[in-house]
Structure 1
Amino acid sequence: MSFHSMWAELLPVGRGSASGGYRRFAWTGADAECRAWFQAQAESRGLRYEVDRNGNQWAWLGDPADGDAVVTGSHLDSVPDGGAFDGPLGVVSAFAALDELRARDTRLRKPFGIVNFGDEEGARFGLACVGSRLTAGQLTREQAHRLTDGDGITLPRAMEAAGYDPDAIGPDPHRLARIGAFVELHVEQGRALDLSGDRVGIASAIWPHGRWRFDFRGEANHAGTTRLADRRDPMLSYAETVLAARREARLAGAVATFGKITVEPNGVNAIPSLVRGWLDSRAEDQDGLDRVVGGIEKAARECAEAHGVDLDVVRESFTPVVEFDHALRDELARILGKDPDRDSGLKVPVLGTGAGHDAGILSGSIPTAMLFVRNPTGVSHSPAEFAAEDDCVAGVLALADVVEGLACT
């Protein structure tokens, strides 16, 4: 099956008619359809199919017990109303790369695996990369069991409803020990490749990033009868903090976003008593991130004091900088045209990324690397996310070259 036909087959699954975006949330009907698609692709190619204790799907050519396996893949779930490419491009490209290797009559000397990691986006339970975090031991069973979605459904209940055993989840070091290299192909979440004119890039590192909750507590009162001078309005402090986040990020060459907010009592004619906003911030290095978040918090506290508002700041999650395995990264660069003995005609720039990935989670346990495919819009987590088919095919060929170079030695 060609890349185009696989892509067309997967494209309708979980797609909303109104937004054109995707709602492939973990352990839902759309997720089950994606999983069925993965299993069908594996079995149609005669691959050994299995689901691990954490619900991640695997397709194997060769016996993984032999060790030093080369694995590629990504995820099939999505953010709310997300784009088609984030995650699925890496999974579809993995199967297409295997088809390309078979067309070349390539004989792999190491086991080769394709994986679909579960619940990468965290759209339902609020924590990203659940499947890979569990596998790598970065999320305990007890912590996972406490995860709850917006409807109050716990992760264990959702897994059971989907036919999986939530009591079996947990670290899987034996499985990871069999993997010699994991290479994740992903659509670029930005425009660096579009600006450079390159179709494919190699990741250098994932920027350090985190999420902070800002709770501004004021006093609820009547919007029509309370004098401006008598108000303790937390919305003012929040609004000024949003502007401060933009200013601090711009000065540091970083990014900072308040993308989620809740308001109490949330009435049109009521001054809020509580405004709760979540900050997402990312920077090229730890010092830069500390400066940005520190500057935002300082500004927030000054604004809160000026308006008679109390402020609590809670760091809800944090991921330090992830340097992908340098030896593996250099090997990818050599395979993809940097070696003068190999003329692939492909220039491959090396670039960092501000987005988290399963490859980043696994980097502390096994050698990992990433390939990026050009995204001309630079848009991600949106229906406008896009990659041209010829660029996708270039990514498939690059991935096939990488697998061949790593698994045939």
Structure 2
Amino acid sequence: MGFEEMWSALLPVGRDPDGGGYHRFAWTPPELECRAWFLDEARRRDLDVERDRNGNLFAWWRPDGAAGRAVLTGSHLDSVPGGGAFDGPLGVVSALAAIDLMRERGVRVDRPVGVAVFAEEEGARFGVACLGSRLLTGAIDPSRARALRDGDGRTFADVLAAHDLDPDAIGRDDDLLGRVGCFVELHVEQGRALDEPVGAASAIVPHGRWRFDFTGEGNHAGTTRLADRRDPMLPFARMVLAAREAAERHDAVATVGKVDVTPGGVNAIPSSVAAWLDARGPSDDAVRRTVADVHEAARAAAASHGVAVELSEESYTEVVGFDTSLRDRLVAALGGVPVLPTGAGHDAGILSARLPTAMLFVRNPTGVSHAPAEHAETPDCLAGVEALAAVLTDLARG
């Protein structure tokens, strides 16, 4: 089964029939169906299948004579709410198709080649992006991860246990990491910076997520005078505007894309508002100053309305410069391709703290990502498969 057939099989899973976006949250039925699809495809190719103790999936191609530390590729299968089709799955489908090409061409490899599917990359269910790779590399404390809750109040520990994983066993896995020599992730480009079918990544800019909790006093919308209100929606509104203003001052980007209002009644003044800020920028200083400015504006507005506000950092990743020698080797193997930075986080960025990593991008003509309009043309996707096969061939022979 080639790229196009695999892509067609995966495309309907978790798709909203009305809006066209995808809802594949970690360990929910659509994402579990994607996982089952991956395992079936791996077994159809006689790849050795492995699920690690953090819920990540791996499929290994180990031809006779292949030994040493593996070349790993792959991506993720979960999505943001209403996400696009390509973010994550393109890297997984392309990895399997690249191995098919290598086999069809009789490529002999000296090292094993693996395909990874990392769990909860988007953080859409438990709030921490790249959770599977963070656990694998030790970038998040297991006790914190176990206590993470989804929107229904279920803990990450409970969800793992429900899927035959031991919550007490999660965490850094030096044995598995020790079997991997490098990681190359193929991904759809998430902007309009790439004007050729395939490019390579230079770096991931600093980025993080912060939670603002505004606590006021719930009350009746019709009988409570304006002067008597402690309405948390007002400082929340100021915080949203402050995010845009601070981002402009510091040449960053800031987004408030998720909010939880309690109790959420049309005729009730909220008692609390939780809001999540995503901030990214060209430097650590730019991001930190942006968040500090937003926090200061939120505190001032909260105080003027008799509301309390608390800020907590849920995740943060400093600038990730991909391994230069590995990147240069990829570019050389492809005869020279554009090299560009990205403002999006990836598992490759988390893994870079423990082993050499690199990324390949496939052109996105719409420039849209995390939304239904995210797109890559089929010829460009096939060019991505060819590029990944060439890269894996080069790396697995060394």
- Whether TM exceeds 0.5 here: the answer is yes
Partner SS, residue 301 of structure 1: helix
CA-CA distance at 1:250 after TM superposition: 2.2
Look up the SS of the partner of 1:400 in the other structure.
Answer: helix
- Show the counterpart of 1:345: none
Q: Decide which of 254, 258, 267 is 1:256's aligned counterpart.
A: 254
Equivalent in the alignment of 2:323: 325
Please give the secondary structure, in 2, of the residue aligned with 1:14: coil
Aligned to 1:362: 351
Distance change >3 Å, CA 117–CA 221, structure 1 → 2: closer
Match of 1:214 among 208, 212, 215: 212
- Cα offset, 1:240, TM superposition: 2.1
Preserved contact between residue 214 and residue 308 of structure 2 (Cα < 8 Å): yes
- Whether the 8 Å CA contact 2:66–2:110 is kept in 1: the answer is no
Checking the alignment, whether the CA contact within 8 Å between 1:219 and 1:271 is kept in structure 2 is yes
Give the whole-Å Cα distance in 2 for the aligned partners of 1:112 and 1:280. 35
TM-score in terms of structure 2 length: 0.92
Greater CA drift, 154-163 or 222-231: 222-231
Q: What stretches of structure 2 of length at least 5 have no aligned partner?
A: none
Percent identity between the aligned chains? 61
- Following the alignment from structure 2 to structure 1, what is the Cα–Cα distance between the partners of residues 376 and 27? 27
Deviates more, 1:305-314 or 1:399-408: 305-314
- Partner Cα separation in structure 1 for residue 228 and residue 344 of structure 2: 43
**Structure 1 stretch 314-323 or stretch 59-68: which is displaced more?**
59-68
Residue in 2 aligned with 1:180? 181
Residues 298-377 of structure 1 mapped to structure 2, 5 A cutoff: 298-338=296-336, 348-377=337-366
Shift of 1:39: 1.8
Contact 2:198 2:384 in 1 (8 A): yes
Match in the other structure for 1:385: 374
Aligned to 1:117: 118
2:70 aligned residue = 69
Which consecutive unaligned segments of at least 5 residues does structure 1 have? 339-347
The residue type paired with residue 85 of structure 1 is F
Q: Which residue of 2 aligns with 1:287?
A: 285
Q: Residues 152 and 307 (structure 1 numbering): CA distance in 2 closer, same or farther, change over 3 Å?
A: closer
Establish whether residue 278 from structure 1 lines up as the match of residue 267 from structure 2.
Answer: no
Task: Please provide the CA RMSD for this pair.
Answer: 2.2
Corresponding residue for 1:103? 104
Which of 377, 386, 407 is the aligned partner of 2:396?
407
Distance 2:299 2:29 in 1: 44
Secondary structure class of the residue paired with 2:375: coil
Q: Distance in 2 between matches of 1:366 and 1:249?
A: 32
Q: Give the direction of change, closer, same or farther, for the CA distance of 1:47–1:226 in structure 2 (3 Å limit).
A: closer
Shift of 1:334: 1.6
- Give 1:200's match in structure 2, choosing from 198, 201, 207: 198
Partner of 2:80: 79
Secondary structure, counterpart of 1:237 in structure 2: helix
1:344 corresponds in structure 2 to: none
**Paired residue for 1:131?**
132
Structure 1 letter corresponding to 2:121: E
Taking structure 1 as reference, are residues 389 and 268 closer, same or farther at Cα in structure 2, changes over 3 Å only? same
Deviation at 1:98, TM superposition (A): 1.2
- Equivalent residues in 2 for 1:215-254, closer than 5 Å: 215-254=213-252
How many Å apart are 1:221 and its aligned residue? Answer: 4.0
Question: What are the superposed Cα offsets for residues 189-239 of structure 1, whole Å, 9 maximum, x if unpaired?
Answer: 22211xxx2221211111211222223334444433444445443322221
Structure 2 Cα separation of the partners of residues 31 and 236 of structure 1: 37
CA contact under 8 A between 1:66 and 1:178: conserved in structure 2?
no
Distance 2:61 2:96 in 1: 11
Q: Quick check: 1:28–1:162 contact (8 Å CA) kept in 2? A: no
Does the CA-based 8 Å contact 2:66-2:109 persist in structure 1? Answer: no
2:395 is equivalent to residue 397 of structure 1: no
- Following the alignment from structure 1 to structure 2, what is the Cα–Cα distance between the partners of residues 394 and 158? 38
Q: 1:204 to 1:311 in 2, by over 3 A?
A: same
Deviation by residue 1:287-325 (Cα, 9 ceiling, x = unmatched): 111221122222223333444433322222222221111
5 Å matches for 1:3-82?
3-62=3-62, 66-82=67-83
TM-score (norm 1): 0.90
Q: Which secondary structure does the structure 1 equivalent of 2:334 belong to?
A: helix
What is residue 152 of structure 2 aligned with on the other side? 151
Give the letter for the 2:136 counterpart: T
Residue 341 (structure 1) aligns with: none
CA contact under 8 A between 1:73 and 1:94: conserved in structure 2?
yes
For residue 119 of structure 2, what is the amino acid of its counterpart? G
CA distance in 1, matches of 2:29, 2:306: 48
Look up the equivalent residue of 2:315 and give its one-letter code: S
Contact 1:67–1:177 (CA<8 Å) still a contact in 2? no
Cα distance, 1:33 vs. partner?
Answer: 2.0
Report if aligned partners of 1:65, 1:178 keep a CA contact under 8 Å in 2. no
> What CA distance in whole angstroms lies between the structure 2 residues aligned with 1:302 and 1:141?
35
Asked whether the 8 Å contact 2:80–2:370 carries over to 1, the reply is yes
Q: Relative to structure 1, is the Cα distance of residues 202 and 167 closer, same or farther in structure 2, using a 3 angstrom cutoff?
A: same
Q: Secondary structure of 1:263's partner?
A: strand
Query: Following the alignment from structure 2 to structure 1, what is the Cα–Cα distance between the partners of residues 310 and 145?
Result: 26
CA shift for structure 1 position 391: 1.1
